[in-house]
Structure formats: structure tokens, C-alpha cells
Amino acid sequence: MSALLFARPPRIVVASGYLVGMGNQPLLIDGEWIAASADADFFNASAPATGESLPEQFPVSPWSQLDHLLTSAARDARELAQTSPVQLASFLEAYADAIVTHTDELATLASRESGLPADARFVQVEIPRTLKQLRDAAACARDQNWRQPVIDTTANLRTQLEPLAKPILVMGPNNFPFAYNGIAGGDFAAAIATGHAVIAKAHPAHPGTTQRLAELAHEAATTTGLPSATVQLFYHCSNEDGLRLASDPRLGAIGFTGGEKAGRAIKAAADATGTPAYFEMSGVNPVGILPGALRERPTEIARAFCESSLLGVGQFCTNPGLVLTTDSAGLDRYLERVRATFAEHTSGPMLTAALPRELDDAVQGLLDAGATLVARGPAPSADGFYPRPAVLRVDARTYLADPARFQREMFGPASLLVVARDADELRTVYEHLDASLTGSLYSAADGNDDALYDELVARLAPRVGRLLNDKMPTGVAVSPAMMHGGPFPAGGHPGFTAVGMPASLRRFGALRCYDHVRPHRLPPTLQDRSPFPALWRCIDGTWTLGPVPANDR
């Protein structure tokens, strides 16, 4: 997944004469919309469909403003940690209601900044998903199931997850202006539901959309009586200041969705001060097509692959970037369908000007390494950030000579097909897979692939967060059963997910033990007569598993 870190965009000098409201945009700090400092640099977002710079200017914040954000959030963190779960839930629900009221306006803003369709992408899909995340988080805040209380009455010991009592820094990617937005997405919802202030960083690809969301969030926070620094927003900063922010000990945790290069730099900065940081950085999401499945339904699988790879201009963290199969019956028919689809596909615009160039460079890099071109989409005929879709092919022997080189993510509508001579060579390919968010396996319906499947899945499963059968990986359901993460560097930690509640809330919890604490001093969730069921309870030496929380059923 491609994303800017904190690198300063080129300064754009804007001529006078823009409409009122189109000038320099303020930041949300400690409950106030504050203008940038007089000597600040500014950047403009772009319209991907035309390539034109949009008129609004957004500030590149100096350290003094980042420090102000941190100081304000740290001040309110303790109060938020003690805030009623009902009040936190009320904020999330009020915010969701405000987004509903302004759906058309928000969708239009996001379409302008992303080039993605306002109705088909935002109104019908991404905004409803965002609303579900906010409301699911509100439900988790109310029933407190994220805390996982454990009560041992025999030893008079009790533990549960509690807020970190420090603010959370949330950074969203370029490809989801709502569902992963720093001030509206899943990380934001999880942080608020667990009682934390959020410092949100906008992505430079959609700052206007993020600003409008911040206005709605601020209004909801004010209405529901939350502290002034509960939600704060900045748009950009220098690399140096951004990494300084990530390493500041006043932070409780970091939630980051974006590219691996940026994620690794943030992780190193956070590790220096022991700040928990949770990442979702993608990978190539391998799709294995076993010989029996290839013989049985090559055209059907090819159609599913093309739809998945080209959906949303390939700008998904679960895009199928690597397809693994054997040189067996059905391969020609599979390639025929893929070749025809990609060669004729006219792509929509990508999110930023750099992305089509980066895709071209990635394709050329694979060609230089020994891959061959299966198909390439037509060259764009319009201005804007338009890519050429691509499918490449390489034999397994060449691939195995340098697996890392062939597993570099191509963000966009592009994928590499690795063809093994036989099942033995295919097994070796699977031994050299890097970490990814997902791994898919297509197998024959008649069971002919089952033995090979068992061997391959033993190699694949430890390398991915989500395992799929007979299904392409694009798309992440908002469900308590979802795992959206994986081994590093696809994710930050294989035990945590960025999607699915209450599991995603637990990332922002500190495990705290109460040892012989007097009953009236215990938190409500750990009292013997608590209205919240304990996950585990021990009475007279016998451990009992409590009721399954409603959101986990």
C-alpha cells in the first residue's frame, strides 16, 4: 500500500483571486480551529481525474504545533480514561448520525480528491462501512466486552484491559478517505471507544475530506460533553518532526495504515520509547491455483482474478499481487481470459500523481528481473493520474533465484503470475513467501487437490493473517470474526487486527491486575456483582468460562 509518511510536499505558490474559503486551512487543536503560523509551508491536494491542483491550501505543521497537540491531548487523557462508557458511545453514535446527514457532501468532497465515484464507492460502500465501524465501537464501549475481565475470587486477583491514559496517534492511508481515515476510521473508533484522545494526521491525498470529518467529530464531541482535546487534527509535517512525534513518550500508542517504508520508519521511532504501534502495511497477497482447480474452472477463476485486481484501480491493501500455479491443463485458457481483459481495460485515475509512475517502475523492475509481459492496458488518453494495468509472468526457477525481488508490492492494477513446472517446484515457491495480509487457495471441487492443499496451507498459513479458499482476497468484512493484519511487515503484530470489534479495541488496552484490592475500590467490571460478565471466573478453585460477549457471537 502506498502512502506518504511525513515527507513535505513541494511548496505551491498560489496566485491571488481564489474564492472566499479557498485559502489557507486551519488545524483543530484543543477544541479550536487554529491558523497555521505565518511562516508555514502549505500544500494543495489534486484532482486525480484531471491532474489539476485544488485551490485549498493546507499547512505543513512545525514542531511547535505538534507539541501543542500532544500537550493538550496528554492533559485530557486521564479524564477520558475515566469517562463514562455511555458518554463515549454517545459521541460515536452522534458522530455517525452527523456523517449520515452529510453523506452526499462528504462523498462529493472525497470523489473530488480521490477520483473515485461518489455514489458507487462512497455513498453505497465506504461510508456505510465507516458508520458500521463507529456504531460497533459504540456498542463495545457500552457493554465493555473489550476489557476481557478475569476474576479469581479464591486468590482475590482480578485483571482486565484498561485505557492507556495517554493519547493515540492515528494515521490513515491514501486509499480509504473514510473507512481508514485518521479521524473517522476503525483505528479512530477503537481508540475513542476505549477512552482515549486521538491525534489524527490527515493524508495529503484527501485533506479536505478529512477536515470536514474533523468538523463533524468536533461538533459531536462538544455536544456530548467530551474534553476539548478528544479529537484533534493536523494535515502534514516534515519527516523529522513526524518521527519525533512518533517517538514522543507522551503518546500511548500509534495506529498506522500505509506503505511498508513509512511503517518501518514509524515503528523504529516508536520502539525507541517503547510506544506500542500497530500497523497494517499489506503485502502481495498470494493466490494459489492448484492443478485440479486450474483444469476444472480456469475461465471462472480468471474472471474472479481480473475483477479483484482491477477493482478500485487496484488500490486495495488486499489486492491479489501474486498468483501461483503450475504449468498444467487450463493454464492457456486462464491466460487467454486474463490477457483479453487487461489488454482492453481502460483504467480510472489513481489517487496521487506519483502512483502511476511508481507502478510503471515496478513493472519495469520485474521485466528487468526476468519476467515477461502477459498483458498491458492501453496508454491513457486523458490528463490525470491514469495507470496502465499490467499482468506479468515468470517461471518458478527464475522467481526462486531472487524471491524478494519478485514480491515487492505493486500498488495498483497489476499482478505477477509465477508458473511452476510441477507440484514439487510449487511447494518450494511456497517456502519462500513473505508475509502478507491474506493468502488464498483455489482447489478442485472433486477433492483431487486435497493432499497438495494440506501441504501448501501448512506453508502459507503462518505467513498470512487471513486464509481464504476459492475466493479472491479483495474486500474486508466488518465482522467480529475478521482478522485484518498479519505477521510483520504485513502487519505490526500477528496477534492483532485493525478490523473487527471488540478485537481491534484491545490493541489500545493496558492489562492491569488488582491484587487483594478492597471490593468498593474495584472497577465495576471486576466487582463480584458486576453487570458485565467476566470472561473467566474462579470460585473455590474452579474456573468457569463466562458467557460469550454479544459482539463475539
- C-alpha 492/C-alpha 334 separation (Å) is 35
What's 257's DSSP letter? E
Determine the 3-state secondary structure of 116 from DSSP. Answer: coil
Of residues 231, 392, 248, 225, the one with CA closest to residue 323 = 392
- 280, 296, 409, 425: which one is catalytic? 280
- C-alpha 50/C-alpha 353 separation (Å) is 10
Give me 431's grid cell: 517456502
Q: Quick check: 490 and 436 in contact, CB under 8 A?
A: yes
Question: What's the pLDDT at 17?
Answer: 26
Question: What's the pLDDT at 547?
Answer: 62
Question: What's the pLDDT at 6?
Answer: 53
**Strand 168-171 vs strand 536-539: parallel, antiparallel, or unpaired?**
unpaired
Of residues 130, 185, 121, the one with CA closest to residue 348 = 121
Of residues 504, 510, 412, 549, the one with CA closest to residue 179 = 504
Sequence-separated (6 or more) residues with CB below 8 Å from residue 150: 158, 159, 160, 534, 535, 536, 537
Question: What's the pLDDT at 4?
Answer: 46
**Residue 28, amino acid:** L
Q: What is the CATH number of domain 286-469?
A: 3.40.309.10
Looking from the CA of 548 toward its CB, the CA atoms found within 13 Å total 4
Q: Quick check: 248 and 94 in contact, CB under 8 A?
A: no
- C-alpha 303/C-alpha 387 separation (Å) is 21
Active site residue 280: yes
Please give the class, per CATH, of domain 56-280: alpha beta
Neighbours of 17 (CB within 10 A): 7
- C-alpha 344/C-alpha 389 separation (Å) is 10
Give me 166's grid cell: 495517554
Q: Which helix (H) or strand (E) holds 191?
A: helix 186-193
Active site residue 317: yes
Neighbours of 361 (CB within 10 A): 10
- C-alpha 289/C-alpha 308 separation (Å) is 15
Q: Quick check: 45 and 26 in contact, CB under 8 A?
A: no
Give the phi and the psi of residue 151 in degrees, each rounded to 5.
Answer: -120, 120
Among the residues of 252-410, which ranges form H helices?
260-272, 291-296, 298-310, 331-344, 354-369, 396-401, 403-406
Residue stretches of the chain with pLDDT short of 50 = 1-4, 7-21, 548, 551-553
Question: What's the pLDDT at 5?
Answer: 53
Sequence-separated (6 or more) residues with CB below 8 Å from residue 447: none
- 140, 237, 306, 317: which one is catalytic? 317
- C-alpha 144/C-alpha 163 separation (Å) is 12
Q: Quick check: 415 and 371 in contact, CB under 8 A?
A: no
Q: Which residues pair with 536 in a beta bridge?
A: 150, 545
pLDDT for 496-523, tens place per residue? Answer: 999 999 999 999 999 999 999 999 999 9
* Residue that has been written with the C-alpha cell 473515485 in this structure: 116
pTM above 0.85, yes or no: yes
Give me 503's grid cell: 478485537
On the question of a cis peptide bond just before residue 523, with omega within 30 degrees of 0, the verdict is: no
Q: Please state the domain extents for the chain.
A: 56-280, 286-469
Categorise residue 470: left if φ over 0, alpha if ψ from -120 to 50, beta otherwise. Answer: left
Sequence-separated (6 or more) residues with CB below 8 Å from residue 373: 363, 367, 390, 391, 392, 393
Give me 494's grid cell: 500477528
